[in-house]
Amino acid sequence: MINLFLLVAGFFLPPVAVIVMTAPILLPIILAANFDPYWFAVILTINLEIGLITPPVGLNLFIIKGIAPDISLRDILMGSLPYALCMVLGILLLCLFPGIALWLPNLIMG
pLDDT digits (tens, 9 = 90+) for 29-49: 999 999 999 899 999 999 999
Quick one: pLDDT at residue 95?
92
CA distances from 46 to 1, 2, 22, 74 (A): 15, 13, 15, 23
Quick one: pLDDT at residue 59?
86
Instruction: Report whether pLDDT(110) > 80.
Output: no
**21 residue type, one letter:** M
Instruction: Report whether pLDDT(65) > 80.
Output: yes
**75 residue type, one letter:** D
Predicted model pTM: 0.85
